Amino acid sequence: MKHFLILVFLVTVFSCNTENDTYKLEGKAIGFSDGTEIIVNTLSNNNQPIAIDTLTVTNESFSGSYANSEELTINFLQIENIKGTVLFFPENTHLKATLYKDSIQASFITGGQQNNSYKLFNEKIIYFNKQKGKNIEAYKVARREQDNMLASDLKKQGAAINDAEKSFKVQFVSDNPNSLFGVLLLTEMVSRKEVSASEATAIANNLSPKIAATTNAAKLKNMINNMKKADVGSEAPNFTAPQPNGEMLSLHDVLGKYTIIDFWASWCKPCRRENPNVVRVYNEYHEKGLNIISVSLDKGNQKDRWLKAIKDDNLTWYHVSNLKGWNDPIAKTYSVRSIPATFLLDEKGNIIAKNLRGNALDAKIASLLGD
């Protein structure tokens, strides 16, 4: 009897330890036929997908078991013959998935704080996307019917929706300092310049120690630091690059009382549309101390187009380019991810304004160099 009790005790302990060492992923695959394969992927430190398991749907259900880990990772499900993925976060707790064949975007996984908060986030983003979609369709109708007043109101409503979405994202990452997804979201917002370097820094500084120690958080902080280098109030990073004639020219060589660094490209239509305004401002204020140095994001095989655009648009100031397109090192240093992009410097090379165009550029330069 004693040996039997010991055996029962050992089996129970072993079973509990096994249970504690793994978590289950169970789910419903609504609308999917038997035999449909679901690939479970994780992301490497280089954000490359790595397949770790293949699950099979039976009676619209599937399940898998995985080892617990203290490492914070991002996983996702990829369903056979279906576009899109379903993101989830292993949290050493059992997870429940609900997959919809007719709406992979509405599919979700719950279990653990990160997955539950991500589900709520995704639901809100779906709401914003529906609102934006309705607004765009109404705007198209208003334009088609030449109802300019309604079109103007709808444009303002669209901007308000975008502002509300941005505020929601900022609040989400602020309220979820222990969320790996929050780090990814903030990284995307920094990349798109939806937040300033100071806003991003304040949020990043409040990340939990565990999240702050991740590779993703390190990449985020590095991106923020690069962003600060080209933020208003910072000294503009110096650079040296080839001019059209091949001679090297540095930013420090061309500083005037005020200097504009203008990122553009011959293929960029908004840049070309803005050029006449920049030419007018330059011609009016160059003699009073305004200099401009344009950095082209044309590629090596577009040099002739770059030179032709300079001539055609009467851009009579300084020009440089490494002819590397979006891989231009100057653009990376200044965190330029869209063009046109401008930086206004004072005589000491400090950034005093960014992305001034049209009337805003004219008014700013007039306030600095006008009579």
Are 214 and 316 in a shared domain? no
Region 38-54 average pLDDT: 87
Statement: residue 88 has pLDDT above 60: yes
pLDDT band (50, 70, 90) for residue 236: very high
Which strand (E) or helix (H) includes residue 369?
Answer: helix 358-369
pLDDT band (50, 70, 90) for residue 5: very low
Are 141 and 155 in a shared domain? yes
List all residues 6 or more positions away from 361 whose beta carbon is below 8 Å from its beta carbon.
277, 278, 281, 342
Distance separating alpha carbons of residues 349 and 238, to the nearest angstrom: 9
Are 75 and 167 in a shared domain? no
Q: What residue type is assigned to position 22 of the chain?
A: T
1: in domain = no
Statement: residue 17 has pLDDT above 70: no
Work out how many domains the chain is built from and give that number: 3
Percentage of the chain exceeding pLDDT 90: 71
304: in domain = yes
The CATH number linked to 359 is: 3.40.30.10
Distance separating alpha carbons of residues 370 and 164, to the nearest angstrom: 38
- Confidence at residue 294, expressed as pLDDT on a 0 to 100 scale: 97
Which range (70-79, 249-258, 340-349) has the least confidence?
A: 70-79
70: in domain = yes
Are 221 and 252 in a shared domain? no
- Confidence at residue 370, expressed as pLDDT on a 0 to 100 scale: 78
Q: For residue 327, how many C-alpha atoms fall within 13 Å in the half-sphere facing its CB?
A: 4
273: in domain = yes
pLDDT band (50, 70, 90) for residue 204: very high
In the listed set 205, 229, 253, which residue is the last one of a domain according to the structure? 229
Are 211 and 175 in a shared domain? yes
Are 328 and 221 in a shared domain? no
In the listed set 229, 262, 277, which residue is the last one of a domain according to the structure? 229
6: in domain = no
Are 106 and 125 in a shared domain? no
Are 305 and 334 in a shared domain? yes
188: in domain = yes
Are 126 and 225 in a shared domain? yes
Of 124, 130, 127, nearest to 170 (Cα)?
A: 124
Are 125 and 68 in a shared domain? no
Which range (17-31, 34-48, 264-278, 314-328) has the least confidence?
A: 17-31
Strands 290-296 and 258-264, bridge-based pairing? parallel
Q: Read off the pLDDT of residues 311-355 as tens digits, 9 standing for 90 and up.
A: 999 999 999 999 999 999 999 999 898 899 999 999 999 999 999
Which range (38-47, 262-271, 295-304) has the least confidence?
A: 38-47
In the listed set 111, 128, 157, which residue is the last one of a domain according to the structure? 111
Are 220 and 143 in a shared domain? yes
90: in domain = yes
Are 107 and 127 in a shared domain? no
Query: 301: domain range?
Result: 240-369
254: in domain = yes
